[in-house]
Copies of this chain bind each other. A is one copy, B any other.
Amino acid sequence: MNKIVLAQIDTIAGNINHNSQKIIDCIIKAKQNNADLIIFPELALMGYPFGDIFIRHKSIITKQLQALEYITSLSDGITALVGFAEPTWDANKKPFYNSVAVAQNGKIINIARKRLLPNYSEFNDYRYFEPADKSCEIFEINGEKYGILVCEDSFNDKSFFKGNSIYNIDPVAELMKQKPDTLINCSCSPSRCAKEYLKNSLFSTIAKKYSVNYIYVNQAGYADNLCFDGSSRIYDKNGNITLRAKTFEEDFVITSDNTGKINPLPTGMDKKINLNNFNTDYSTDLDRTYKSILFGIKEYFCKNGFTKAVLGLSGGLDSSICALLLADALGKENVWGISMPSRITSCQSKDDAKILADNLGINFLEIPLAETIDPLKSVLNSAFDKIKTDKYSKSTTIENLQARLRATILWSISNEHKQMLPIATSDKSEAYIGYATVNGDMSGGFAPIADVTKTKLFALGHFLNKIRPQKDVIPQSILEKPPGAELKINPKTGKTVCAEEENMPYEFLDEIIWFVENKGFGFDDLFNHKFLYEKKHALSDEEKTEWINKFFRKSQFAVYKWHILPPSVVVDIHSINSVEYRQPIISCIN
């Protein structure tokens, strides 16, 4: 048996020095451990995703090829599989192949080129890569035969996908004609809800079907809103996992030392999730969601040179969960929670914000908004009167002004202090319908929960409380109160208006979002569908119609806001993140 290293590294797009140094260090360590073969993820040398940078920064291409030459020179006594962007040097072709170089004894003995180029969702392979028209020849080490697949190449098993595959060829079937003992899949595969179950079933099926060993090496890292979970692993010929690297962390695992060591996945991550219907039981995805966001925060901050975060604490669910995630990712001493109560902020909210900060041990400061907002209001009111054009009879101006002043304070604090980033606390349900203020709560250097819907956030809150030794870190009152921005008073009740009064129940909204994202439902489909909410509450056809129409109207208008959302972490099955989903601002959806 050959000794094999799964080098699950973290890369930075275009940073050839950084990436090649990691690769070199791993190869040296692998040689010290007498490994026969070391495998890196897809595009390890260039970093992924690299977008269009090579078009305007051509020197990256030369640097990459020089680095590959040097790395190849280190391959004496070892075989190294190094993913790189291989120039086609052909004006009639796309600029690159998405390739894996097989470096052995100082030479590149073979190159495997990706055949299936995904060009949907967050993938844009066909923008940059030329597809290979045949599978790479297998190669040998000590009599063992290996065949290479690049990520998507493994995702077209006809029987597994039952005719729902989008490509005509199956590179696995073609590669297997050469009878390799082991298939190696070099990947950059982002983590999403329900993805691990799919991958594991598929890889296991392939190993069993062809009675072949299957090695999967995935990048561990974050870029451009996507978290790559790592979780590299080996399947034996029966489709059983014999080794698994860590999740959401770089790793370096060697078969002989580690075979049999199967690092645990986040709780429930490998479980099947019902993709046919919406439900609010998020239990199998909460730990992964939590760890995915933690990893995203750590990576984004570190790679951009930030160490500290400042956020507004309203005493509500969104900012509380953001504070907890930031404290866990950056260290509680690096998080500043700022309470900025206005005259209509309730005592309960103020208290909850303080209790939460104390429970988390983060820094806390109260900056009352009243004394800064009043002078601005009076200047504005006099200006409003001078502008002779239609005014709204009921306007959201003062509500938005509060949110914008709060964000201005946070940005000012981050401006004044080193390596500090202000945080946008918008969640997915609210972003979807634009229930967030531009330059206000949706503004920041990072938006941790922008892909988590409200009903899932409540579940996440309970989950996060449960996994900590400390009781009720997020106070029960925060988990129980109806969400609301506390920006205005309902004159009838004298209380602040809660969000569900203004919009619709979150459970109903989240179910609409689910069916639009996963099933492409339009008005009629939604109207004819029986919502979970309807099983618990009476709902007239009029109200149902109103809510569904409100969703389409508001989400149409919110597209502008989606376009300017701060960087975030994709965690859901689908998202509105522009890395994945592109809706022109000028477009009509209903």
Residues of A near any B CB (own CB < 8 A): 12-15, 18, 47, 49-53, 55-60, 91-94, 119-120, 124, 126-127, 163-168, 222-224, 299-300, 303-304, 308, 336, 338, 363, 365, 367, 371-372, 374-376, 379-380, 383-384, 386-392, 395-397, 400-401, 404-405, 407-409, 411-413, 415-420, 438-439, 443, 445, 516-517, 520-525, 560, 563-567, 574, 578, 581-590
Query: Do B376 and A372 touch (CB < 8 A)?
Result: yes
**Shortest distance between the CB of A558 and any CB in chain B (Å):** 12
Structural contact, A420 and B564, CB atoms closer than 8 A: no
B58 near A587: Cβ-Cβ < 8 Å: no
Across-interface contacts of A415 in B (CB, < 8 A): 392, 395-397, 400-401
B92-A224 in contact (CB<8A): no
Complex contacts, A383 vs chain B, CB 8 Å: 338, 365, 367, 409, 413
B439 contacts A417, CB within 8 Å?
Answer: no
Using A14-B588, A587-B13 as known contacts, say yes or no to A387 and B405 having CB atoms under 8 A apart: no
27 A-B residue contacts at CB 8 Å? Answer: A12-B586, A14-B588, A18-B588, A47-B588, A52-B581, A57-B522, A57-B590, A59-B522, A59-B524, A59-B525, A94-B166, A124-B582, A224-B586, A300-B586, A304-B586, A336-B389, A365-B386, A371-B375, A374-B375, A380-B412, A380-B413, A389-B418, A390-B417, A392-B415, A401-B415, A411-B439, A439-B443
A372 to chain B, nearest CB (A): 5
Residue of B nearest to A226 (CB): B584
Instruction: Indicate how many identical chains form the complex.
Output: 2
Count chain B CB atoms within 10 A of each CB in A374, A379, A560 and give the residue with the most: A379
Given contacts A224-B585, A396-B415, A400-B411, contact A566 B567 (CB under 8 A): no
Indicate whether A416 sits within 8 Å of B438 (C-beta atoms), given known contacts A59-B524, A92-B168, A567-B585: no
Expressed in whole angstroms, the Cα–Cα distance for A265 and B167 within the complex equals 45
Q: Name the distance in Å between A92's Cβ and chain B's nearest Cβ.
A: 6
Instruction: State how many angstroms separate the Cβ of A590 from the closest Cβ of chain B.
Output: 7
Q: Give the CA-CA distance A583 to B224 in the complex, in Å.
A: 9
Residues of B contacting A56 with CB < 8 Å?
A: 516-517, 520, 574, 581, 589
> Which of A119, A391, A404, A419 has the most chain B CB within a 10 Å cutoff?
A404
CB atoms of B418 and A390 under 8 A apart: yes
Contact A439 B408 (CB under 8 A): yes
Q: How far is the CA of A506 from the CA of B11 in the complex (A)?
A: 35
C-alpha gap A303/B13 in the complex (Å):
37
Q: Bound complex: CA of A397 vs CA of B411, how far in Å? A: 8
Contact assessment for B439 and A407 in the assembled complex, using a CB-CB cutoff below 8 Å: yes
Q: How long is the Cα–Cα vector from A408 to B439 in the complex, in angstroms?
A: 8
A565 to B53, CA, bound (A): 18
Chain B residue nearest to A62 (CB atoms) is B522
Q: A120-B127, A439-B408 are in contact. Are A578 and B581 (CB under 8 A)?
A: no
Q: What is the chain B residue whose CB lies nearest that of A126?
A: B126
Q: Give Cα distance in the complex from A400 to B388, angstroms.
A: 30
Q: 4 smallest A-B Cβ distances: which pairs?
A: A15-B588, A59-B522, A58-B520, A51-B582
> Closest chain B residue to A520 by CB distance?
B58
Report the separation of the CA atoms of residues A59 and B391 in the bound assembly, to the nearest whole angstrom: 37
* Interface contact B371-A387, CB-CB below 8 Å: no
Task: Tell me which residues across on chain B come within 8 A of A563, comparing CB atoms.
Answer: 567
> A560 CA to B165 CA in the complex, in Å?
36
The interface residues of chain B lying within 8 Å CB-to-CB of A405 are: 376, 408
Set of chain B residues within 8 Å of A404, measured between Cβ atoms: 408, 411-412, 439
Q: Which residue of B lies closest to A48 (CB)?
A: B584
Residues of B within 8 A of A119 (CB): 119, 126-127
Closest Cβ–Cβ distance, residue A94 to chain B (whole Å): 8
The residue on B at minimum CB distance from A525 is B59
Given contacts A413-B387, A439-B411, contact A223 B564 (CB under 8 A): no
> CA separation between A55 and B521, bound complex, in Å?
10
Q: Whose C-beta in chain B lies nearest to the C-beta of A51?
A: B582
Could you say which of B14, B57, B409, B438 contacts A411, with CB atoms under 8 Å apart?
A: B438
Q: What are the residues of chain B within 8 A of A516 when measuring CB–CB?
A: 56-57
B-side contacts of A565, CB under 8 Å: 564
A585 to chain B: which residues have CB within 8 Å?
Answer: 224, 304, 567
Q: How far is the CA of A443 from the CA of B408 in the complex (A)?
A: 13
- In the complex, the chain B residue whose C-beta lies closest to that of A578 is B578
Q: How far apart sit A90 and B159, CA to CA, in the bound complex (Å)?
A: 17
| Contact between chains at B165 and A92 (CB < 8 Å) | yes
Establish whether residues A387 and B372, one from each chain, have CB atoms under 8 Å apart when the complex forms. Answer: no
Given A126-B119, A416-B395, A91–B52 Cβ distance below 8 Å? Answer: no
The reply to whether A413 and B439 form a contact with Cβ atoms under 8 Å apart is no
